[in-house]
């Protein structure tokens, strides 16, 4: 008896030179344990959708039990595929032993289940996606949006990065308004370490702009590190065999700017916890500057510098990069110096030392008094900014 499966597939946009092609020989076979099916579908565009067929079971649209359905995805050489779920709803189980999606991608074999949003960035241009269900039904399945992306040796948005031993690399973003995903993989038997060098969230203090780094090849990987505006930064690096980096920018057209470096290492211990200076992760770094000025923290004092944010920021240790009339310039946080603020400036000082304090005097009503307050800038990375408190007439 021939069984009929309803498969939803469509594409977005017009024809491109690099079409996404999903192929398979349509076969239907009965077995004692599971019914199998494959689909023959071709997308004449660089975007497409594959959706798991469902049936109305007791008033709910659910996938069927005892099913095995396969899609074969092939894109041109020099390209890879990003799978992004519009919804993902499968039975949760330890090691995905009941209902699951298996993605075979080159030498990778990864299994996914549960109900979490799924994003996967492939390494190859030839994938097989297989859905398997057991004799129980517990979800509505999935709908995957697929896009084909040109391979790039650089760490660009929605890219797969194969780290090479002995060759460091970087991942950076400048004003990309949408969400981005990066899959970073170490050579066999090794691990890859990623370090945060710079991040700027702009004037925001909520969670709409954030970076999440996971141990694995997708958004289903174990959470390792989250960086968001207005939150303290508790790590400076993480490492694993595979690292999946999520950049989320929701509800805002102005993008987060960030710069990571990565290298192949042997991870032995958990990276230490440290406390970076405020401008390194500060969400709202505005100090009342004009539109053609940038707020910087020079030493331990906030000030406005004429110019704009640098296109590519190579400053280190929390420094702010400003594109001035003299070109790109790094304004160093207290305790650092050099062109890129990567040199230590003198010995560490553990506290502020006042070298000029206000005089103690009584001011009559309507009178005026001027006093100076100066401190010796410490060479440590203490999170200190000094200012004048005009109401209590004290230096703080």
Cα–Cα distance for residue pair 212/226, rounded to 1 Å: 5
Q: What length is written for the chain? A: 396
Report yes or no on 362 lying in a domain.
no
pLDDT at residue number 152: 83
By the 8 A CB rule, do 119 and 85 touch? yes
Report yes or no on 248 lying in a domain: yes
The count of domains in the chain is: 3
- Residue 335 backbone zone (phi > 0: left; psi -120 to 50: alpha; other: beta): left
Considering the domain boundaries, does residue 359 fall inside one? no
CA-CA distance, 360 to 351, in Å (whole number)? Answer: 23
Q: Can you tell me the distance from the alpha carbon of 249 to that of 233, in angstroms, rounded to the nearest whole number? A: 19
Closest to 70 measured CA to CA, from 127, 4, 19 = 127
| 219 and 194 in a common domain | yes
**279 three-state secondary structure:** helix
Tell me: do 230 and 211 sit in the same domain: yes
384 in a domain, yes or no? Answer: no
Answer yes or no: do 262 and 319 share one domain. no
Q: Are 137 and 197 within one domain? A: no
Same domain, 247 and 292: no
- From the centroid of its chain, how far is CA 239? 15
Residue 50 belongs to some domain of the structure: yes
Q: Are 185 and 171 in contact (CB under 8 A)?
A: no
Strand partners, 193: 239, 263
User: Which CA distances in Å does 162 have to 41, 117, 172, 243?
Assistant: 30, 24, 16, 11
- For residue 45, what are the CA distances in angstroms to 21, 25, 72? 8, 21, 16
* Final residue belonging to a domain, choices 297, 328, 344: 344
Query: Going residue by residue through the chain (396 aa), what tens digit of pLDDT does each one get?
Result: 333 333 333 333 333 445 565 554 333 333 345 666 655 444 545 888 999 999 988 888 999 999 999 999 988 889 999 999 999 999 988 889 899 999 999 889 999 999 999 999 999 999 999 999 998 877 999 999 999 999 987 778 899 999 999 998 889 886 677 889 999 999 988 999 999 888 877 766 566 788 999 999 999 999 999 988 767 777 888 999 999 999 988 766 677 788 899 999 887 645 444 334 433 333 334 466 777 888 887 766 677 888 888 877 788 877 888 888 788 888 887 677 888 888 876 543 344 555 565 555 555 565 666 666 666 655 544 445 554 444 433 444
Cα–Cα distance measured from residue 325 to residue 348, given in angstroms and rounded to the nearest whole number? 33
pLDDT on residue 158: 92
Token pair in block for residue 208: 């709409």
Total-model pTM:
0.63
Q: Cα–Cα distances in Å, from 106 out to 103, 164, 166, 183?
A: 10, 18, 24, 14
Asked if residue 220 and residue 124 are part of one domain, the reply reads: no
Give the Cα separation of 128 and 109 in Å (integer).
10
* CATH code of the domain containing 269: 2.60.120.290
Residue 196 lies in a domain: yes
CA 269 vs CA 238, 240, 273: distances in Å: 10, 11, 12
Taking each continuous run of H as one helix and of E as one strand, the counts in the chain are 0, 34
Residue 158 CA to residue 109 CA, distance in Å, equals 20
- Among 227, 245, 279, the domain boundary falls at 279
Per-residue confidence (pLDDT) for residue 359, from 0 to 100: 57
The Cα 51–Cα 119 span in angstroms is 15
317 neighbors 333 (Cβ within 8 angstroms): yes
CA distance 280 to 318: 4
Check whether residue 37 and residue 104 sit in a common domain.
yes
Asked if residue 146 and residue 80 are part of one domain, the reply reads yes
Q: Identify whether 364 is part of a domain.
A: no
Residue 272 in any domain: the answer is yes
Q: Are residues 211 and 185 in the same domain?
A: yes
Which of 120, 150, 180 represents a domain boundary (last residue)?
Answer: 150
Range of the domain at 255: 159-279
Q: Does residue 327 share a domain with residue 252? A: no
Do 238 and 129 reside in the same domain of the chain?
Answer: no
Residues 36 and 145 in one domain: yes
């Amino acid at each position: 008896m021939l069984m009929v499966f309803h498969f939803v597939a469509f594409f977005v946009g017009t024809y491109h030179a690099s079409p996404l092609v999903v192929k398979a020989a349509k076969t239907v076979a009965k077995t004692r344990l599971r019914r199998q099916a494959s689909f023959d579908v071709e997308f004449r565009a660089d975007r497409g959708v594959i959706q798991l067929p469902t049936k109305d079971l007791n008033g709910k649209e659910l996938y069927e039990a005892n099913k095995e359905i396969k899609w074969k995805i092939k894109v041109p050489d020099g390209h890879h595929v990003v799978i992004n779920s519009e919804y993902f709803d499968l039975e949760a189980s330890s090691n995905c032993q009941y209902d699951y999606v298996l993605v075979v991608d080159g030498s990778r074999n990864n299994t996914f289940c549960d109900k979490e949003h799924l994003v996967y960035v492939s390494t190859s241009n030839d994938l097989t996606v297989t859905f398997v269900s057991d004799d129980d039904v517990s979800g509505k399945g999935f709908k995957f949006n697929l896009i084909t992306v040109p391979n790039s040796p650089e760490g660009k948005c929605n890219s797969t990065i194969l780290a090479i031993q002995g060759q460091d690399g970087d991942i950076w973003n400048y004003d990309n308004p949408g969400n981005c995903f990066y899959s970073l993989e170490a050579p066999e038997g090794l691990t890859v370490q990623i370090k945060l060098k710079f991040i700027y969230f702009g004037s925001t203090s909520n969670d709409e702009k954030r970076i999440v780094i996971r141990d694995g090849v997708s958004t289903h990987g174990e959470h390792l590190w989250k960086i968001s505006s207005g939150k303290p930064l508790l790590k400076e690096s993480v490492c694993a065999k595979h690292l999946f980096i999520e950049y989320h920018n929701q509800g805002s057209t102005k993008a987060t700017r960030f710069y990571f470096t990565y290298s192949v290492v042997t991870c032995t211990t958990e990276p230490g916890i440290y406390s970076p200076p405020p401008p390194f992760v500060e969400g709202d770094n505005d100090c009342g500057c004009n539109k053609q000025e940038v707020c910087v923290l020079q030493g331990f004092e906030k000030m406005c510098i004429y110019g704009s944010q640098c296109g590519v920021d190579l400053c280190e240790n929390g420094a702010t990069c400003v594109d001035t009339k003299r070109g790109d310039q790094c304004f160093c946080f207290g305790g650092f110096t050099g062109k890129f603020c990567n040199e230590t400036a003198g010995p560490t000082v553990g506290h502020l030392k006042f070298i000029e304090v206000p005089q103690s005097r009584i001011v009559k009503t309507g009178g005026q008094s001027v006093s100076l307050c100066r401190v010796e800038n410490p060479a440590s990375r203490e999170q200190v900014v000094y200012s004048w408190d005009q109401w209590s007439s004290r230096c703080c």
